[in-house]
Chains A and B, each alone.
Chain A
Amino acid sequence: MGLRQGIADPEGQTVASALRSLGYDTVSEVRSGKLLRIGFEAADRAAAEVVVAEMCRRLLANPVMEVASWDLVEADAPLAAHAG
């Protein structure tokens, strides 16, 4: 979940200024967000897309200030086994 364009992001600004103070002069912007990794079962990829879209709409993102995007990864192992 990332912040919508135009929504002020004091956390991102603070991180950007910290990076600049470490010498990364080329940092122009940091936008903060939240990453969730969700393990669930679905019949197929299309079904999984539908479920994730619904999760985002109902709970995970607040459309007033956030936009959600996602990647689907097929996996057999529990989430803890995946680093990324």
Chain B
Amino acid sequence: MSIVLARPRIAVVVFPGTWSERDFAHVADAVLGWQATLVWHTETDLGRPDAVVLPGGFAHGDHLRTGAIARFSPVMRSVIEFAEAGAPVIGSCNGFQVLTEAGMLPGALMRNDHLEFRCEWQWLRVERPSSSPAWLAGLDDGQLIRLPISHGEGRYVADAATLDALEADGRVVLRYVDERGKADEAANPNGSERGIAGIVNERGNVLGLMPHPERAAEAEIGGTDGLLLFRSLERWLREQPAAAERRL
């Protein structure tokens, strides 16, 4: 028996002030031929997607703290349920901030150490991709990729015990490096503890990262390394009969 797979479906959550939702939808719909649905933050029905995206932007104006108010939006109850079922969730930039505020990932993201907003291409080292099969399985341990960053509050902080545990468990999956793969102060664009750019939850299905994979999906705009994450997801979905059944 062969199963003809439907197109992957992603739900892209939109809070008031989100700005990257259309880029994610464009990559899914136009570049990959997937199906993206925008889900307003007051909705609770995600529409049975294969994956959920919390995109970048300034949800609720970043007031109080980045992501602090977004975590209480009705849609987040559904996102948490979705993640607790083991389904893939990615939070990029402001989405990463929302994931930490919601307690779905440890730590917090604070003002860049130099107080400047940084919008530039950044080299990253992929570490322990097997920790996040859905999002990183197609990448190699130690692989260097280049993605845009665009944030004023991307300095990852957590207490030393949390940082040690994240590293020991292989949950730091993206680190800021230079073009030769060296992680040092000069390569760190925001003062993040230990150069951390992306982490996953214990189960590996929830990925938070400050860079923007959706802005690196077409050669015309400077790079396509962001597609590696989307392709990983596609491959992972193909290996999940449950995900295929959900779409039938």
Residues of B within 8 A of A11 (CB): 111, 115
Residues of A within 8 A of B64 (CB): 34, 59-60
Complex contact B101–A10 (CB within 8 A):
no
Q: Return A8 CB to nearest CB of chain B, in Å.
A: 7
B244 at the interface (CB under 8 A from A): no
Residues of B within 8 A of A34 (CB): 64
Contact among A7, A14, A59, A60 for B157, CB-based, below 8 A: A7
Complex contact B115–A62 (CB within 8 A):
no
Contact among A10, A59, A62 for B72, CB-based, below 8 A: A59
Residues of B within 8 A of A22 (CB): none
Complex contact B191–A10 (CB within 8 A):
yes
B107 at the interface (CB under 8 A from A): yes
Contact among B69, B110, B191 for A65, CB-based, below 8 A: B110
Please provide the chain B residues from 96 to 130 with a CB less than 8 Å away from any CB of chain A in the complex: 100-101, 106-108, 110-115
The contact size tier of chain A is 10 to 19
Q: Return B20 CB to nearest CB of chain A, in Å.
A: 23
Please provide the chain A residues from 33 to 62 with a CB less than 8 Å away from any CB of chain B in the complex: 34, 59-60, 62
A83 at the interface (CB under 8 A from B): no
Residues of B within 8 A of A73 (CB): none
**How far does the alpha carbon of A8 sit from the alpha carbon of B193 in the complex, in Å?**
10
**How far does the alpha carbon of A10 sit from the alpha carbon of B113 in the complex, in Å?**
5
**How far does the alpha carbon of A5 sit from the alpha carbon of B115 in the complex, in Å?**
20
Complex contact B111–A65 (CB within 8 A):
no
Complex contact A64–B157 (CB within 8 A):
yes
- CB-CB nearest in chain B for A36: B64
**How far does the alpha carbon of A7 sit from the alpha carbon of B111 in the complex, in Å?**
11
**How far does the alpha carbon of A12 sit from the alpha carbon of B65 in the complex, in Å?**
17
Complex contact B191–A64 (CB within 8 A):
no
Contact among B65, B112, B158 for A10, CB-based, below 8 A: B112
**How far does the alpha carbon of A65 sit from the alpha carbon of B159 in the complex, in Å?**
9
| Chain B proximity mask over A1-39: 1 for CB below 8 Å, otherwise 0 | 000000110110010000000000000000000100000
18 A-B residue pairs with Cβ-Cβ distance under 8 Å, sorted by A, are A7-B110, A7-B157, A8-B113, A8-B155, A8-B191, A10-B112, A10-B115, A14-B115, A59-B64, A59-B72, A60-B64, A62-B101, A62-B108, A64-B108, A64-B157, A64-B158, A64-B159, A65-B157
Sort A-B residue pairs by CB-CB distance and give the 5 closest, nearest first. A64-B108, A10-B113, A65-B108, A10-B115, A62-B108
